[in-house]
Structure 1
Amino acid sequence: MKTFGKRTWVIAEGYIPSYGTGPEPEMTSHETVCILNTSNKGAEVELTLFYSDKDPVGPYKIKVEAQRTKHLRINDLENPEPVPRDTDYACVIESSVPIVVQHTRLDSRQAENAILTTIAYSE
């Protein structure tokens, strides 16, 4: 299979609401980084988060096996520290092999839920 993607991706817009409506965990307001690794090698991926009022935090380290996908909820990141709610952030994603990255948000603050998705910027 052909390897698709880039090694560096940027999500310039991030925000996780502190509350939501509907059953948990399915309808918890969240952001997800969807990663596709089509290569024959496992991807060592690092995320660094940037904020408007403090130094960057990271790296958050994850693995995506060869020819697999991983949908990572940003809400679930714990190490080096949990991601704060109700706070603007941006994310730089760096991988050991080319990957494809998509960003998705479920905003369930209202009963009429909204989902937003976009491809990240690649370099």
Structure 2
Amino acid sequence: MKAIGKLDWAFSAGKIPLQSIGEEPKFTSNDKLAILNTSEEKAIIELFIFYENRKPMGPYSVTIKPLRLKKIRFNDLIDPEAIMLEQNYSCYIKTNVKVVIQFSRMNTGNNKVSEMSSMAFPVES
């Protein structure tokens, strides 16, 4: 199968809501990535988190088996440091093989659940 996607990705609209209503972890407010690896190689993903008022954090490392999809909740990223809740952040992602990335957010901070999703921006190398 042909590997599709890009090696470098970025998005600038991260913010994990502090409040959640409903059963955990299913209805915990979160930001999430869906990463598709169509290559025949293991994808080694490195994420770097940028905040408004502090130095970047990372890398956060994730691997994805060949020909697989993996969903990553930012709430679950804790090493080297947990992602700060209720703080604006951006993310730069680099990989060793081409991947496709989608970003989504679920906000359950009130009785009406909202979800938003968009493609990350593929960085031209």
TM-score, normalised to structure 2, is 0.97
Alignment of structure 1 residues 101-116 onto 2, 5 Å: 101-116=101-116
Kindly state the Cα deviation for residue 2 of structure 1 after the two structures are TM-superposed: 1.4
Which residue does the alignment assign to 2:23?
A: 23
Q: AA paired with 1:114?
A: S
1:33-72 superposed matches below 5 A: 33-72=33-72
Deviations 1:79-98 (CA, angstroms, capped at 9, x unpaired): 00000101000000000000
Q: Displacement of 1:18 after TM fit?
A: 1.1
Give how far 1:23 is off: 0.8
Partner of residue 89, structure 1 = 89
Paired letter, 1:110: N
SS in 1 for 2:4: coil
Alignment of 1:4-15 (within 5 A): 4-15=4-15
Counterpart of 1:118 in structure 2: which amino acid? S
In structure 2, what is the equivalent of residue 2 of structure 1? 2
Unaligned runs of at least 5 residues, structure 2: none
C-alpha deviation, 1:59, in angstroms: 0.2
Per-residue deviation, 1:15: 0.2
Moved over 2 A (4+): none
Q: Which runs of 5+ in 1 are unaligned?
A: none
AA partner of residue 22 (structure 2): G
Give the aligned length. Answer: 123
C-alpha deviation, 1:19, in angstroms: 1.5
Query: Which position in structure 2 is the counterpart of 1:73?
Result: 73
SS at match of 2:49: strand
Structure 2 CA distance for aligned equivalents of residues 17 and 23 of structure 1: 16
Shift in Å, 1:122 = 0.2
Amino acid at match of 1:42: K
Deviation for aligned residue 1:22? 1.0
